[in-house]
Structure 1
Amino acid sequence: MAERHLEIEQKYDAAADFVLPELDGLPGVASAGEPEVHELHATYFDTADLRLAANKITLRRRRGGADAGWHLKMPAGADRKQELRAPLGRPLIVPAKLAGLVAAYTRGAELRPVATLETRRTVVRLLGADGGELAEVADDLVTGRGPDAEPARWREIEVELGSGTPELLKSAGKRLRKGGAKRAKSSSKLGRLLGGAVPAPEAAAARAAARSRITAATCNGKAPAITTGEVVLAYLAEQVEAIIRFDPMARLGEEDAVHRMRVAVRRTRSALRSYRPVLDAERIAPLGPELRWLAQALGEVRDLEVLRMRFQGAPAFLLSDLEKRERAAYRRLNASLKEQRYFTLLDGLDRLVADAPLAAGAERKARKELPGLVTRAWDRMAKDYASIKTSGDPDLARHDTRKAAKRARYAAELAVPVLGVAAKRVVKDTKRIQEVLGAYQDGVIAMEHLDAAAKRARTTEEAFTLGVLYGKERCEAEDARDRLAITWSQTLGPSF
């Protein structure tokens, strides 16, 4: 397992004659430690076309210093990076765990050395009254060598927050700037070294452009001028970005990551179905089955996560069994996320945004077109709901209604930037229907698992506990079922 660390730091460019200012008197700082000097040698790895650097990700193997080893740094917000570490291992073999975490970007391309950096680092630790490290100030003299360039030399100052406050980080930066340092233009040494060789991240840029068009139009009061295609494209761009962002978190098993990635996949698939009149059917057709495949791989893990959390207090043998099944499901998920099939899907999703497969209807004004499309999704849900009373399998009809409610909810979510309050009301209503049906469905599934577990109970106490849990699930499921009609009667439906 890779070691994880949230890095919060700011970088500053400094001239060769820059003098590091006194660092006492900063918020919370009681003293500054004695300077420590380290000689660091780092080899950076990337694909031949620098896909990691294009997405502000760095992967290196560094010798020297207190944290020698492999370091993977991924953006995690302003001045923040999620850093994952692994032991030094072999010089040219990227640890499989780290390589897997960037697979959504590399997509099967080889990771190889692209640059080396030699750094003479002078570290000053800022300490609190209890001796704890609040921050670390590193004064770096750097020599970088790229594949096709002369060595570059520069000096930079890094301030990395430890247990200190954001105010300390801000104050330290202010003191450095007053002394003549300037906020670094690049967030990484590799980015500075490679400069213009780093390609513009076309897929990410396309996603950002799609979102910015909608944001600019709505903020400037020009929403009526937005086309339906622009709104659909912006929503799809947001979901594709979420799939890629949550990919490494899902691989690591971080809390709620699989669920959020799965939701983004479902939203994408739902938008492609609900907004077919806006999209080129032939071009989007291959994406549907592949998104369904990915949703199922994520769903297996998520469903077991939900059961495990739901069954807290159950006999140990049942919880142990669920934990084993969940670990096995995670292994299958990670195997799926290594397949070329998955990488091909990601390529297809990038093209979906960068080269939008829009149909003629996409040019129509969103204000006029979206109400009908959202209403159509609502009507499909209403038809499924009505079938519950006449179906020979009411549970199947409830399940279909729940799926239709999700599609209607996502269709309305997409329209919110243009239709505003009216679309938000549809989102609220469909979410309530979805939640009630979800509570019923979850209860039914839970009862099935408890019934199967009861056959394996080894003691009377275990059987009794399982019976109590079964009764609780049954009551909650029946309550949800009975609340469905009331909840439906309280919905208003679309009124655009």
Structure 2
Amino acid sequence: MRADTKREIERKYEATPDTRLPDLTGRAGVAEVVDKGVADLDAVYHDTEDLRLAAAGITLRRRTGGTDAGWHLKLPVAPGTRDEIRAPLDEDVPRSLADLVRARTRGAALVPVVRLRSRRDVRHLVDGKGVLLAELSTDTVRAERLAGPRRGRTAEWTEIEVELADGGDPAFLDAVHKRLRKAGLRPAGSASKLAKALTDTGRRPVAPPQEDGTAGGRVLAHLREQADALLTYDAAVRRDLPDSVHKMRVATRRMRSAFRTYKRVLDPAATEPVAEELKWLAGELGVDRDQEVLTERLTSRVDALPGTLLLGPVRGRLQAWAGAGRAGSRGRTLAVLDSDRYLALLNALDALLADPPLRPAARKDASAVLLKAVVKDYDRLATRVEHALALPAGPDRDVALHQARKAAKRARYAAETARPALGKPAKRVTKRVKAVQEILGEHQDSVVARETLRNLAIKAHAAGETAFTWGLLYGQEEADAARSERELPRVWAEATPSYRALRRI
């Protein structure tokens, strides 16, 4: 089923039926405020019985009236910014939208929870050429609870929305905001109409626990952030958004790393089964991500060559290889996200965070416990880097550098987790270790690229084509790998002062 997406950037303000809007002409390029009339809107919001979507700031509604009747799924992007994904006006929740929140709902039914009936008075803010800058609406809203013990409760309010036109400059909203604030309007206390309706009718989603300064509180806060990121990027991966697979994979790695680094805080007997499943998920996501990274790398290499060095159907062969790999990896990724094993992992992760297997160290002050863990991970990294640098160039050194890269990620993630407790010293270590990780990553990417180029050269030769260009690209990758190895000692040495400062805490 077709679904359209729109980036929604808006500001909301509290109002009353007697609120009068200030004159906005002459502000930020507004030449005229055009009255577009009044529309009656009727929206039924759907969620699980326990409001899982609302807890994540997600809204799913079926709306009639106005110019955009249909199903609307709104996914938060940043404060005041959401992606609105639309589908035609069917009776049931469209499959295309239900799939995007499957990681949140996990088989629970999406049922009507709130009905909002609004009278919307619309005005367009346009420039001197009549181009739309923003839509300003005054909404008089009546909400009714449709489910749960508070079924039938109602609430009423008036609010003002200013929504930026497609492709508009967000700075325009800042200018309008200043004028509205000067006129006495206050920003709305709720991020959405649904959030206000739930609050005003007596129920709001349960807020996550607050940190308490202990090691357990800090580690659990980090894990909850990553678990939420996993669910957020699930929808982004399904939408095939750029870099979404990578970010989802990073969330799995950060959780696995935290389980290993903070064994004194969380019992590994309980976390290890979840960590193994996160490893499985990261491996499955890696098929798509690795294909994406390698395709971009090889394509840029080919694009940089002069035409005189492109001998044979190089672009065609590369495109065929990339297309076949992308189609297979994309399908495999979506199959994983729709699998029972993946949903079981999400449930296991929720259960672990709801009843965490805390050890005695979890009750101690975060600074001391987390510092010791970060130092241990950094020392592991030092051992691996020094071992790799002591080896002669060749396959054994390539493997050792890859192992050092893994240790660098773990040390970086450990420092990131500890940063709220350890402050600037942890921030500096994070920055320096990230630089080490990046140089090691460049080296590993070259190792993988060379193997692929060798295979492409073999296939080209077998087809009667010249393998000259593939050999040339292979040589470039060899040179880049050697350059990374030469730079590593310097980058590693630059990390030492920040580590010593951390140990002095």
Q: 1:435 is matched by which residue type in structure 2? A: E
Quick check: 252-261 or 483-492, which moved more?
483-492
Per the alignment, residue 218 of structure 1 pairs with none
Tell me if structure 2 keeps the 8 A contact 1:108–1:340: no
C-alpha separation between the residues in 2 aligned to 1:241 and 1:62? 28
Per the alignment, residue 232 of structure 1 pairs with 219
Where does structure 1 lack aligned partners over 5 or more consecutive residues? 214-225
Per the alignment, residue 27 of structure 2 pairs with 26
C-alpha separation between the residues in 1 aligned to 2:369 and 2:186? 50
Cα gap change, 1:462/1:231 in structure 2, threshold over 3 Å: closer, same or farther?
A: farther
C-alpha separation between the residues in 2 aligned to 1:187 and 1:425? 35
C-alpha separation between the residues in 2 aligned to 1:371 and 1:23? 54
Deviation at 1:23, TM superposition (A): 4.2
C-alpha separation between the residues in 1 aligned to 2:39 and 2:320? 47
Residue 41 (structure 2) pairs with residue 37 (structure 1): no
Residue 193 (structure 2) pairs with residue 189 (structure 1): yes
C-alpha separation between the residues in 2 aligned to 1:32 and 1:165? 18
Tell me if structure 1 keeps the 8 A contact 2:409–2:434: yes
Alignment of 1:338-349 (within 5 A): 338-349=338-349
Listed one character per residue, the Cα deviations across residues 301-358 of structure 1 (whole Å, up to 9, x for unaligned) are 2111111110122623213321342243222222222334333333333444443322
Cα gap change, 1:159/1:277 in structure 2, threshold over 3 Å: closer, same or farther?
A: same
Per the alignment, residue 377 of structure 1 pairs with 377
C-alpha separation between the residues in 2 aligned to 1:423 and 1:178? 42
Listed one character per residue, the Cα deviations across residues 443-476 of structure 1 (whole Å, up to 9, x for unaligned) are 1110111111123338887633222211111221
Quick check: 129-138 or 46-55, which moved more?
46-55
Residue 385 (structure 2) pairs with residue 398 (structure 1): no
Listed one character per residue, the Cα deviations across residues 50-106 of structure 1 (whole Å, up to 9, x for unaligned) are 221233221112223222222111222232222122222x211x2223222222322
Q: Secondary structure at the match of 1:279?
A: coil
C-alpha separation between the residues in 1 aligned to 2:270 and 2:484? 40
Cα gap change, 1:155/1:381 in structure 2, threshold over 3 Å: closer, same or farther?
A: closer
C-alpha separation between the residues in 2 aligned to 1:260 and 1:111? 27
Per the alignment, residue 111 of structure 1 pairs with 110
Q: 2:33 is matched by which residue type in structure 1? A: A
Per the alignment, residue 126 of structure 2 pairs with 127
Per the alignment, residue 496 of structure 2 pairs with 492
Alignment of 1:86-485 (within 5 A): 86-88=87-89, 90-92=90-92, 94-147=93-146, 148-149=151-152, 152-162=155-165, 165-166=169-170, 168-170=172-174, 172-173=176-177, 183-195=187-199, 200-202=204-206, 205-206=208-209, 209-210=210-211, 213=212, 226-312=213-299, 313=302, 315-385=315-385, 387-388=387-388, 393-457=396-460, 463-485=467-489
Deviation at 1:243, TM superposition (A): 2.3
Q: Secondary structure at the match of 1:39?
A: strand
Aligned residues: 477
C-alpha separation between the residues in 1 aligned to 2:421 and 2:195? 38
Cα gap change, 1:321/1:66 in structure 2, threshold over 3 Å: closer, same or farther?
A: farther
Per the alignment, residue 311 of structure 2 pairs with none
C-alpha separation between the residues in 2 aligned to 1:172 and 1:489? 51
Identity percentage over the alignment?
44
Deviation at 1:132, TM superposition (A): 0.7
Quick check: 175-184 or 326-335, which moved more?
175-184
Cα gap change, 1:4/1:462 in structure 2, threshold over 3 Å: closer, same or farther?
A: farther
Cα gap change, 1:200/1:323 in structure 2, threshold over 3 Å: closer, same or farther?
A: farther
Cα gap change, 1:259/1:164 in structure 2, threshold over 3 Å: closer, same or farther?
A: closer
Tell me if structure 2 keeps the 8 A contact 1:59–1:73: yes
C-alpha separation between the residues in 2 aligned to 1:83 and 1:199? 25
C-alpha separation between the residues in 2 aligned to 1:371 and 1:63? 56
C-alpha separation between the residues in 2 aligned to 1:482 and 1:72? 51
Tell me if structure 1 keeps the 8 A contact 2:155–2:200: no
C-alpha separation between the residues in 2 aligned to 1:168 and 1:409? 39
Q: Secondary structure at the match of 2:99?
A: helix
Cα gap change, 1:172/1:386 in structure 2, threshold over 3 Å: closer, same or farther?
A: closer
Q: 1:62 is matched by which residue type in structure 2? A: R
Tell me if structure 2 keeps the 8 A contact 1:259–1:302: yes
Tell me if structure 1 keeps the 8 A contact 2:40–2:118: yes
Tell me if structure 1 keeps the 8 A contact 2:51–2:205: no
Q: Secondary structure at the match of 1:26?
A: coil
Tell me if structure 2 keeps the 8 A contact 1:6–1:80: yes
Per the alignment, residue 219 of structure 1 pairs with none
